[in-house]
Amino acid sequence: MSYGIKLRVWGDYALFTRPEMKVERVSYDVMTPSAARGILEAIYWKPAIRWVIDRIHVLKPVRFDNIRRNELASRVSVNRRDMDEGRPVCRYIENDRQQRASMVLRNVEYVIEAHFELTGSEDSDPGKHLAIFERRVKKGQCFHRPYFGCREFPVDFAWCDDVPGPVFHGRRDFGFILHDLDFSDNMSPSFFRAVMEDGVIDCRGEVVS
Amino acid sequence: MIFQSLISLYDRLGEEAPPYGFSVEDIGFAVTIDRQGNIVGEPEDLRNKINANKYDFRQSVVPYSNKVNVRANAAAKTPNFMVDKADYLFGMSGKSKKDVHHRSFKKLIDEVCGESRDEGALAVRAFLDNWQPRYASELPYWKEMCGIHGKWVAFRLQGERRFIHEREAVRRLWADFVKIEEFPRGISFIDGESHDLQLQYAQFKFGSGASLVSFNEKAYESYGKKKGENAPISVEAEFKSSSALKHLLRSRNQRLRIGDATTVFWAERVSPVETFFGQILNPTVEDTGAMKSVQKFLEAVRQGTMPTDIERDRDIRFYILGLSLNKARLALRFWHVCSVGELMAQFRDHFNNLEMERSDRDIPFPGVWHLLKETARETKDISPVLAGSLTRSILTGGRYPQTLFQGVIGRIRADQAKKHPSSGKSISNVNYLRAAILKAVLQRNHNTEVPMSLDSERRETAYLLGRLFAVLEKAQLDALGKVNATIKDRFFSAASATPASVFPRLLRLSQHHIEKAEYGYVSDRRISEIMEHVDTFPAHLNLQDQGLFAIAYYHQKNALYRKNETKSEGGE
């Protein structure tokens, strides 16, 4: 049993980082299904359900822009040795700064078509989950602010009944893009061929990993 | 995207690109040895000095692996095969010993050559067996060989032209050797299929070497994956794409610099557009022949026609890749794919926007660099970000960056009283290129139609005021001849920003000029022609109107100047 929803999302910037260019980040041309899943989960998610992205409608032309940001080069290490030796668990940006360039998307807008599947028999009233999700979207509630690939690029969202007409016509092939990560199998990535037909990317096709 | 296109470029290049395990590298010196491994004669200097700090090197297809390009930490133990820096060949660098380098170099050669009876390989091995590092400093050119412009040193067998590493047998030895190397298997992100994976991406010659793909800090790794695991790519795909990119970066006419970005471009198949493209964006003034043909080509494009050989290529894809250096990594500045037909349409649109009346000395189709120079006092002040975004707007037909407009307006204000340093003659602050840029931005970003020369029917206040200002300046010049500070020098920026506070005063002043000048009534008539349509002087003009003001000033001045010329009074 599955229950479909449509969510309209938009924002000024987006950065769906390509794995091969994730240091000097370069965005994919369109939103990846895993980014869409992240947005839905930010609004409503429970262990009882699992979001699956069906289609992504692209409503704005693909435009890029370049920005640079100051970031940290290393992570705060919290391994055993640091704790035993009592090293402070912190990093100082002054000593560890890295300026990184990004090629980001500008002025994006999508409609996410998705459904959720129940993960078990517990808490398995789909009508309830659907109603909660709808109520939360309409009130603008979220667990944390959903974002387009980077926390700096927040998502505005709204409930969507009818998908606006497409701005794209014909077929466009974006090549292999990330579908999602398999967290149960050593976080291995899976990819799918993103083909946009009249502004719609169907994410339900074949996935390779 | 980028990788796939580069791979198809590699496949297209065929013989021009090196096969797997090889790379085109710079050779600085060649050492000739005989069959017993003794050095014969002096090392040969293969460099060609271009200027104080720049050399042209002999290029050669050398055995190569990705390990060599990142040998920072384990440098001594990662030698290249047969050809390398002097440290490895001779075990010395300047006056310091490099034993480990030398030994590892020798070891690799032993390993690769095995039982081979090839003359070249045997000679090199004999040389390495006999060689004593302490002889090194007695070699002619020793200092240069170890210097930063020394590059790599190659062996040459006595009596042969080619290098030893170019011998058929030696190449085969290496090709067989790299074949047996083992790689982990996994899914490549390029085609989603299982391949041998390359964990070390190639580096490119940008400064000391930079990678397009690298994960050199902890924060860049995701989900606990190390280095290349973050973006698994097959050995073949990595080699093909990096070779193709190396080829482009080395090429002379498929590469150009825009701001701080090195831009390379290529078409799906061989096309004359590949050679034209660089000339269009960045015309080289020295090469007049090429410039002429490009101008002719652009003239045709402007009229909407295309030479038949390019018309034929209308539908092929064209790729443009802009890279800039950011901390030993290459950052993508722009990536644009379009068809040749679309590209030509964008150029037509761009140059139509820029079209402005000009003298014969001015460049008819200014390149990106020409435009950028008008936004800053010195070339080093030009914003690299602006360079990238301007190029992108030209290629995509998107809006021009607003900073371009602001930059030009700023220069016009700052240069209002600029004098030629030696002759002391005043330099026009609104020149052809500045007027053209203002016009282009107004047309594309603000949907304001702007003519390319004087439009005396135009009734917009900003336009009229620009014209009026030029006429008032002329009236002053007619009356006083040479003046130290003209009204332009003093009032241009104030007049264009806050007309109400300047123009009444200037008009009053102009009455004196009219009285004094021999043909004052001409100026009087011109002023009244314009003033007829001005109702009020606005307190402020916004930035957009200031642009129009400057364009009108340029137009009117040209019109006045042309009349002068027919009366042969000379001008400016």
User: Strand ranges (DSSP E) for B172-213?
Assistant: 185-187, 194-198, 203-204, 210-211
Cβ-contact B47, B28 below 8 angstroms: yes
Per-residue pLDDT, B568 = 43
Residue ranges in chain A assigned as alpha helix (H): 33-43, 80-84, 126-139
Q: Do B385 and A99 touch (CB under 8 A)?
A: no
pLDDT at B564 over 60: no
Q: What is the mean pLDDT of residues B365-370?
A: 88
Decide if B327 and A193 are in contact by the 8 Å CB cutoff: no
Chain A residues whose beta carbon lies within 8 Å of the beta carbon of residue B332: 21, 24, 26, 101, 103
B335–chain A nearest CA distance, Å:
9
Out of B190, B216, B333, whose CB is closest to A176? Answer: B190
- In angstroms, rounded to a whole number, what is the distance separating the alpha carbons of residues B420 and B488? 15
Q: What is the mean pLDDT of chain B?
A: 86
Write the DSSP symbol of residue A95: G
Give CA separation, B391 vs A65, B64, B445, B446, B530, in Å.
Answer: 12, 35, 15, 19, 39
Tell me the two tokens of residue B216. Answer: 């050199």
Per the document, the length of chain A is 209
Q: Which of B554, B455, B472 is closest to B508 using CA atoms?
A: B472
Residue with token string 């011998």: B167
Q: What is the pLDDT of residue A89?
A: 77
Residues 6 or more apart whose Cβ sits within 8 Å of residue B106: B128
Residue B446: both structure tokens together: 């603000």
Cβ-defined contact of B334 to A66 (cutoff 8 Å): yes
Write out pLDDT tens, residues B414-457.
Answer: 888 888 777 777 778 899 999 999 999 999 999 888 888 888 88
Tell me: pLDDT of B72 over 80: no
Q: How far apart are CA B407 and CA B417, in angstroms?
A: 17
Q: Which residues of B touch A99 (CB under 8 A)?
A: 326-327
- Which chain B residues are closer than 8 Å to A26 by Cβ? 332, 335
Return the ∠ at Cα B97 (arms to B93 and B101), rounded to 5°.
Answer: 80
Residue B221 CA to residue B230 CA, distance in Å, equals 7
Q: Which helix (H) or strand (E) holds B339?
A: strand B329-339
Question: Which of B218, B222, B327 is closest, CB to CB, to A74?
Answer: B218
Q: How far apart are CA A15 and CA A151, in angstroms?
A: 10
Residue B419 DSSP class = B
Rounded Cα distance between B211 and B220, Å, is: 14
Residue B124: φ, ψ to 5°:
-65, -40
Q: Closest Cα of chain B to A92: distance in Å?
A: 14
Give residue B286's pLDDT: 66
**Residues of chain B positioned with their CB less than 8 A from the CB of A175:** 1, 4
Q: Which residue has the tokens 């240091």?
A: A23
Q: Which residues in chain A have their CB less than 8 angstroms from residue B223's CB?
A: 181, 187
Q: In A, which residues are within 8 Å of B219 by CB distance?
A: 71-75, 98
Q: What distances in angstroms separate CA B265 from CA B6, B273, B390, one per listed residue?
A: 10, 10, 17
**Could you tell me if B27 and B46 are in contact, meaning their C-beta atoms sit under 8 angstroms apart?**
yes
- Strand ranges, E, within chain A: 3-14, 25-26, 49-58, 64-72, 97-118, 156-159, 171-182, 188-197, 200-202, 207-208
Minimum distance, in Å, between the CA of residue B245 and any CA atom of chain A? 15
Average pLDDT over residues B103-108: 90
Is B212's CB within 8 Å of A65's CB?
Answer: no
Query: What's the mean pLDDT in B194-206?
Result: 83
B3 contacts on A by Cβ (under 8 Å):
20
CB contact under 8 A, A20 and B213: yes
Nearest to A71 among B189, B219, B233 (CB): B219
Q: What is the pLDDT of residue B258?
A: 78
Contacts of A34 (CB under 8 A, 6+ apart): A178, A179, A180, A181
Long-range contact set of residues B294-302: C-beta below 8 Å, sequence gap at least 24: B294/B365, B295/B364, B295/B365, B298/B347, B298/B351, B298/B364, B298/B365, B299/B364, B301/B344, B301/B347, B301/B348, B301/B351, B302/B348, B302/B351, B302/B352, B302/B355
DSSP B458: -
Inspect the interface and report whether the beta carbons of A71 and B331 lie closer than 8 Å.
Answer: no
Residue A66 has its nearest CB partner, among B220, B230, B385, at B385
CB atoms near residue B303 (< 10 Å): 9
Contact A19, A189 (CB under 8 A): yes
B41 Cβ contact list (under 8 Å, min separation 6): B32
pLDDT tens, residue by residue, B122-181: 999 999 888 888 888 888 888 888 877 778 889 999 888 889 999 999 999 999 998 888
Share above pLDDT 70 across residues of chain B, in percent, rounded to a whole number: 97
Mean pLDDT is highest, among A8-17, B271-280, B316-325, B503-512, for A8-17
- Nearest-angstrom CA–CA distance, B296 and B371: 20
Left if phi > 0, otherwise alpha if psi is -120 to 50, otherwise beta: which for B542? beta
pLDDT at A157: 96
| Rg (alpha carbons) of chain B, rounded to whole number | 32
DSSP helix/strand/coil, B333: strand
pLDDT over 50 (residue B567)? no
Output the tens digit of pLDDT for each of chain A's 209 residues: 456 899 999 999 999 999 888 888 999 999 999 999 999 999 999 999 999 999 999 999 988 888 888 988 888 777 777 778 777 778 888 888 888 889 999 999 999 999 999 998 888 888 999 999 999 999 999 999 999 999 999 999 999 988 888 888 899 888 888 999 888 888 888 889 899 999 999 998 878 76
Residues in chain B, overall count: 572
Q: How confident is the model at residue B464 (pLDDT cuts 50, 70, 90)?
A: very high
Cα distances (angstroms) measured from residue A61 to each of A10, A57, A105, A107: 12, 12, 10, 8
pLDDT tens digit string along B231-240? 888 899 999 9
DSSP state of B140: T
Beta bridge partners of A50: A117
Chain A residues whose CB is inside 8 A of the B233 CB are 20
What is the torsional sign of CA A174, B393, B332, A18?
negative
Whether residue B569 is predicted with pLDDT greater than 60 in this model: the reply is no
What number is the ipTM of this complex? 0.82
Considering only residues B472 and A77, tell me which one the structure prediction assigns the higher pLDDT: B472
| A22 vs B216, B220, B324: nearest CB | B220
